[in-house]
Amino acid sequence: MSSLYDVIPPAPPKGVSTRRTTINVNGTSQTLDVEPRLLLADLLRQALQLTGTHKGCDTSNCGACTVLFDGRPAKSCTMLAVQADGHSVETVEGLANASELHPIQEGFKQEHGLQCGYCTPGMMMTAKALLERNPDPTEDEVRWALSGNLCRCTGYQNIVKSVLWAAKKMREQDQEA
């Protein structure tokens, strides 16, 4: 992606009208003045430096930029940052802190669910939304839920295995709790 397309500065030039926007990002409230045309993905990546959210296609096809918007997966390149005012956004950085892994991240490690890793944050956020709704999905249900996330490396096999691994782990944790 040419950097030319990525240089909408989070602080717009003088004379451009902005909108005060307060977003709960990974549990922390953030208030920024943003230009209406700033995309949510760019707000996360540039203004908040949360670069775990990837921009893959810029055409709403690939799902690499998937975040959870009020708990449901959304393509952050296909939302305006101003739309998130008063809402909560969870990115891959919100899954776990640096010293531990979320079961979904652990699953991707155990089952080798990534190669280049570009699609991985989006895959994990979509998987999180799936497992919240359906803690015990079938392989078909996992494939269906991930059908909006493209991966050009793995052939999906290990990604599906990773999500099923995480589902099992999370069910076990729930039983212990």
Partner 1 sequence: MYPSRFDYDSPATLEEAIAILDEGGGEAKVMAGGQSLIPMLRLRFASPERVVDINGIPNLEYHRIDPDGTLRIGALCRHEDLEFSTIIADTFPTLAGAAHLVSDPIIRTRGTFVGSLCHADPQGDWSATMIALGGKIVVQGPQGRREIEAKDFVLGPFVTAMAFNEIAVEAVVPPAKGKALGGYLKLERRVGDFATASVAVALDMDGDTVTRAGCAMAGVGGQTIDANEAISVLQGKTLSVENIEAAAVAVAAVADPRTDHRGSSDYKRHIVETFVNRVLTSVANSEKKVAVA
List residues binding partner 1 (CB under 8 A). Answer: 5, 8, 16-17, 19, 35-37, 39, 58-61, 63, 66, 69, 72-75, 78-80, 82-83, 85, 126, 144-149
Distance in Å, CB of 51 to partner 1, minimum: 19
**Closer residue to partner 1, CB minimum distance, 3 or 97:** 3
Distance in Å, CB of 7 to partner 1, minimum: 9
Beta-sheet strand order (sheet of 28-34) = 28-34, 19-25, 88-90, 66-69, 72-75
Distance in Å, CB of 31 to partner 1, minimum: 16
Q: Of 136, 139, 140, which Cα lies nearest the Cα of 171?
A: 136
Distance in Å, CB of 38 to partner 1, minimum: 9
β-bridge pairing 72-75 and 28-34: unpaired
Torsion, Cα of 26, 29, 33, 37 (10° steps): 30
**Closer residue to partner 1, CB minimum distance, 22 or 173:** 22
Distance in Å, CB of 81 to partner 1, minimum: 10
**CA-CA distance, 42 to 123, in Å (whole number)?**
19
Sign of the alpha-carbon dihedral angle for 136, 138, 142, 145: negative
